[in-house]
Structure formats: structure tokens, C-alpha cells
């Protein structure tokens, strides 16, 4: 038992030392050494008592700053909430603890989760693959912590693409689950209709394990599929170039499609441009601006100095939207979802790049369209996994796998099979 305890405690200490060396990444906002060491001891005692290992026994995990962990800061990256601490755990945290996970600390994020840039109020969240570049947002800290090797598992939240874009930028894997599949209790809201808690993992093979814990889906069959891509009808977005997708992303995407053919998938062309995903992304973002304005309008008036100029402008825009405009935007999103479902009829999945571009240099312009492709699954409420495409020493690129509603586990398994086949 002493050796097991030593190993687990040593893992916590080693991770904390690693994080200290990587402080320049700005991935972490709060570390809980005492809590993590206590959880390591509890995990050891569990095993010493002869209990079977739980799903995440002794695994270190990072938590995004908008998810409540009892006794931890609970500010969602917002200066106006600094000094607020969570009184109780979010539902997903309760599930992580029950699965034997060790909660190591909290990760940096874009303020209020309203953004995909990877810029926290404490500075840019740097990409471990290239520290001059963005780790993506708003779950950039979680993706950076995994990519840097601090942890293998992290939680993020995804409203328009906030676990998928950071995963693609950092070369790790993630899942935006089906709508309403994972509890949002104890998660600071952005827009309740589009918010999701999602796993970020070092390897795609780990996604399903973490997803099952978060979704409390231990009763369904966890067995791996045999050659899961073989014979499947898979749609692929054939007009990605018309969505301002960069030549580098297109090159790696084409290589990924060829890999799917090699794995036995039957690829079928799907045109997305006529649906105007950029327009639906702007519609969802506007609704988020409206929702966060409703939450913060009083504190914005009382303490305007605690809101950045960028966030202030977003809030004011949200406040300018009339009820009729909000209804129109919701109708646009529903129409888009209906048309997408029609295009996916008879397909087992739809694949596309995760983002039109790669991680951007903080010294250069910030792309405005990096969530155009992730907005597709968001609008339809469908599960979508992001898995790295092989890029060698170049900046990472993600392949996004969108599955039918409720097929979250299937999306995870396809991502894992692609990861194995792409090695």
C-alpha cells in the first residue's frame, strides 16, 4: 500500500512541478495541491480495501474555471466574479469524484466563455505546440494543460466550439456531446440552449471513458467496435475551400479523407456552403451576447471597470437585440438544423475540418470565422468529436466527426479508430 500511495502522491507532485515549469503557458488559474494529495490517498485506500478500480481511478484531471468545484474560485474568467468561491460541486464534478479522479486544479479561459481566441483576463493562453500562438478558446487552458502533458484528462465547455477548437489547435481530442446529454448543474451559463460540458483528452481512445463518466452512461455496452469505419456511409464536406479554409488545413483534411477510404469508409459528398454556416455561427453568437447581457446588465452598470472593452461591446450589442430579432435568430438556427439533418439522412457520420484555420499568432490578426465549422453541430444539437490529423511538426489540424443525435459513444469510437489508423 505504501508503494501505491507513494506512486500516486508522486504523480501529483510531479504534475505540479511540471506546471510550475510551464507557467508561461498561462494554462492554470488555480491549483489544489492539498485536495489532490488527499484524493490520491483516498484512491489508494479504495484499492487497498480490495475494491475494483473505478473508471478514472487515480487519474489527474483539469477543470475549466466556469465549472463549480467546492471551495475553489468560481469566476468563469470574469473579474466581476473574482473572490467568489463555489459552495458545492457541479454535477459533473460529483461524477468525477465517484469515478476515482484526482482534481488537480482549474484552467484559464476566455472571460465568461464568450470567445474562441484563448485570451484570458490574465493574459493569452499559449499553445504548448508553439507558445507564440493561441491555444484556442474558450477552453484553451484545459486543452493546453492536456497538450503540455500536465494531465491526460480535462473538462471544458462548448457553446459554439469551445472544446473542439482548442483541441484542434493543440493537437488533442475532444467531444461536444449531444444536447442535454451531460448535466449543466453547477456550470456558469452562457446560453442554456447551446451550452455543453465536454471532455478533452490526450488520446481519442480516452474520450469514451471520460464521456461515460460525465454522462453517467455506465450501463450501455462499452465494447469497442470491430473495424468501425468499414462499410459505413460517411458524408464529407466537399466545399470546405469555399468556407475560407486555409490551404494547409485543406491539405491535411484531404489526407484524412484518404485515410478514411483506406479504413473502408464509403465517402459521400455533402455541400455545406448553401446552408451558410457562417450565418448560423453569427446567429448563435448573437443569442449568447443577448443571454450574457441579461445576466450581467446590472453589474455592468454598477461596476463597468470590471468588464473589458471587448466584452462590454458584446454585452451592449446583446442588449440592443429586440425580442423579435431574437425570435428570428432562433428560427434561422432551427431551419439550419432541419436542413442539415436532411443532408445527413442515411449517413452514419459527417466529417469536416474542425476549424477553417490553425492556431494563430497572437501578434497577428484574430480570425473571425474559426467557429464556422463547429457551429454546424452546435446548431443541430449533434455530438461532434475532434481528433488530430497527422501533421508532423506543423501546427495541428483537427478532423471533426459529427454523429447522429444520441450517438456520442459512436463518435468517440470513430475518433479512436481514426487515431489508431492514422498512426
Same domain, 67 and 154: yes
Is residue 335 assigned to a domain? yes
Q: CA 220 to CA 412: how far, in whole Å?
A: 14
pLDDT band at 273 (very low <50, low <70, confident <90, very high): very high
Same domain, 95 and 196: yes
Same domain, 37 and 97: yes
Same domain, 192 and 271: no
Neighbours of 54 (CB within 10 A): 17
**304-355, pLDDT tens digit by residue?**
999 999 999 999 999 999 999 999 999 999 999 999 999 999 999 999 999 9
More confident site: 376 or 422: 376
To which residue does cell 484531471 refer? 61
Range of the structural domain that residue 306 is part of: 281-328
pLDDT, mean of residues 112-139: 96
pLDDT, mean of residues 400-422: 95
Same domain, 145 and 6: yes
pLDDT band at 422 (very low <50, low <70, confident <90, very high): confident
**Which one, of 402, 399, 422, 419, lies nearest residue 410 by Cα?**
402
Residues 153, 199 contacting (CB under 8 angstroms) = yes
Strand, coil or helix: what is 392? coil
pLDDT band at 218 (very low <50, low <70, confident <90, very high): low
Same domain, 289 and 162: no
Q: Tell me the sheet residues that pair with 387.
A: 399
Residue 199: the pLDDT is: 98
Same domain, 180 and 36: yes
With a cut of 70, say whether residue 227 has pLDDT above it: yes
With a cut of 60, say whether residue 222 has pLDDT above it: no
Number of domains within the chain: 3
Average confidence score pLDDT of the chain:
95
Q: CA 119 to CA 141: how far, in whole Å?
A: 10
Residue 3: the pLDDT is: 45
- Tell me the three-class secondary structure of 141-173, residue by residue: HHHHHHHCCCCCEEEEECCCCCCHHHHHHHCCE
Amino acid at each position: 500500500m505504501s508503494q501505491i500511495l507513494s506512486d500516486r502522491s508522486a504523480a501529483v507532485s510531479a504534475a505540479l512541478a511540471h506546471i510550475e515549469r510551464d507557467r508561461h503557458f498561462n494554462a492554470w488559474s488555480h491549483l489544489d495541491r492539498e485536495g489532490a494529495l488527499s484524493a490520491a490517498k483516498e484512491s489508494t485506500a479504495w484499492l487497498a480495501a480490495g475494491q475494483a478500480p473505478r473508471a478514472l481511478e487515480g487519474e489527474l484531471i483539469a477543470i475549466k474555471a466556469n465549472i463549480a468545484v467546492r471551495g475553489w474560485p468560481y469566476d468563469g474568467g470574469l473579474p466581476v466574479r473574482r473572490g467568489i468561491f463555489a459552495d458545492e460541486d457541479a454535477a459533473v464534478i460529483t461524477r468525477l469524484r465517484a469515478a476515482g479522479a484526482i482534481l488537480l486544479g482549474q484552467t484559464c479561459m476566455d472571460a465568461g466563455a464568450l470567445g474562441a481566441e484563448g485570451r484570458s483576463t490574465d493574459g493569452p493562453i499559449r499553445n504548448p505546440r508553439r507558445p507564440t500562438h493561441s491555444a484556442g478558446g474558450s477552453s484553451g487552458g484545459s486543452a493546453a494543460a492536456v497538450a503540455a502533458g500536465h494531465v491526460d484528462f480535462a473538462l471544458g465547455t462548448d457553446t459554439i466550439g469551445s472544446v473542439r477548437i482548442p483541441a484542434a489547435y493543440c493537437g488533442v481530442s475532444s467531444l461536444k456531446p449531444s444536447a442535454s446529454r451531460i448535466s449543466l448543474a453547477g456550470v456558469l451559463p452562457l446560453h442554456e440552449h447551446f451550452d455543453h460540458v465536454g471532455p478533452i483528452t490526450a488520446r481519442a481512445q480516452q474520450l469514451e471513458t471520460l464521456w461515460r463518466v460525465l454522462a453517467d452512461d455506465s450501463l450501455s455496452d462499452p465494447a469497442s467496435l470491430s473495424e468501425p469505419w468499414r462499410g459505413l456511409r460517411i458524408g464529407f464536406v466537399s466545399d470546405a475551400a469555399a468556407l475560407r479554409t486555409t490551404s494547409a488545413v485543406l491539405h491535411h483534411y484531404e489526407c484524412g479523407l484518404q485515410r478514411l477510404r483506406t479504413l473502408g469508409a464509403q465517402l459521400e459528398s455533402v455541400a455545406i456552403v448553401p446552408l451558410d454556416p457562417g450565418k448560423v455561427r453569427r446567429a448563435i453568437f448573437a443569442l449568447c451576447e443577448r443571454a450574457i447581457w441579461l445576466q450581467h446588465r446590472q453589474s455592468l452598470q454598477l461596476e463597468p471597470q470590471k468588464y473589458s472593452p471587448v466584452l462590454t461591446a458584446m454585452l451592449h450589442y446583446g442588449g440592443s437585440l429586440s425580442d423579435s430579432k431574437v425570435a428570428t435568430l432562433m428560427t434561422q438556427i432551427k431551419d439550419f438544423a432541419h436542413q442539415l439533418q436532411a443532408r445527413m439522412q442515411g449517413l452514419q457520420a459527417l466529417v469536416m475540418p474542425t476549424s477553417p484555420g490553425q492556431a494563430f499568432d497572437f501578434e497577428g490578426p484574430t480570425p473571425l470565422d474559426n467557429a464556422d465549422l463547429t457551429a454546424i453541430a452546435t446548431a443541430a444539437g449533434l455530438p461532434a468529436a475532434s481528433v488530430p490529423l497527422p501533421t508532423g511538426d506543423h501546427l495541428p489540424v483537427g478532423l471533426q466527426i459529427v454523429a447522429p443525435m444520441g450517438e456520442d459513444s459512436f463518435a468517440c469510437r470513430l475518433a479512436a479508430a481514426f487515431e489508431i489508423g492514422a498512426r
